[in-house]
Amino acid sequence: MKRYTAFLRGINLGKRRIAMAKLVEIFEGLGHQDVASFIASGNIIFSSRKRKISSIETTASKALNDTLGYEVEVFVRTAEDLIKIGDSKRFEDQESNGATLHVGFMRHALDSGTKAAFEAVKTAEDTFYVVGREFYWVCYTKMSQSKVWELPEARNLDLPSCTLRNISTIRKLVAKFLKTKP
């Protein structure tokens, strides 16, 4: 069986409150095993015999929608993917001088033009780097205070839906659930 993590978009924000135990139950009902949740923001770790990530994402989204009554987008990564993301050092000072590193999970990689335009969006406090189905955002201010998403060049991008996680969350998740112990 392969180990995966599903990142759910918009869970426990606003009126979309749900117990993590309920999410675990939904994933178990889909035939996944060793299901666990990590912090109350929609991070579900599981094992599955299924190999096609897009199918896992679609099936989980439908089950969540049917159970919860609203759309929940699901972004799945393998344990190997997350270990590589957690170990990445995309920027020289990505976690120093008050910077935080966020990872954006998308379902599909950006085309080369959109990728280049996205990476060109910068402020004194914000820098982006895109690799495959993830983007890395170094933010030198509080995420909520960043003005980068108000820039015309950011607003005009045709970016797909995504969900963000802080790199420290990714690393803690990897350490707790995905790293093999000697």
pLDDT at 89: 77
Which strands make up the sheet holding 100-106, listed edge to edge?
126-131, 134-139, 100-106, 162-166
Please provide residue 17's backbone torsions phi and psi, each rounded to the nearest 5 degrees: -95, 130
Q: Which fold has domain 2-79?
A: Alpha-Beta Plaits (3.30.70)
pLDDT tens for each residue of 15-64: 888 999 999 999 999 999 999 999 988 999 999 999 999 999 999 999 99
pLDDT at 98: 75
Query: Where in the chain is CATH 3.30.70.1280?
Result: 2-79
CB 148 within 8 A of CB 154: yes
Q: How confident is the prediction along the chain (182 residues), in pLDDT tens digits per residue?
A: 999 999 999 888 888 889 999 999 999 999 999 999 999 889 999 999 999 999 999 999 999 999 999 999 999 999 999 999 998 876 665 556 778 899 999 999 999 999 999 999 999 999 999 999 999 999 988 899 999 999 999 999 999 999 999 999 999 999 999 876 43
pLDDT at 88: 84
Q: Which fold has domain 83-178?
A: Alpha-Beta Plaits (3.30.70)
Strand partners, 68: none
pLDDT at 181: 47
pLDDT at 182: 39
Environment class of 125 (CB within 10 Å of its CB; exposed 0-12, middle 13-18, buried 19+)? middle
What is the pTM assigned to this prediction? 0.93
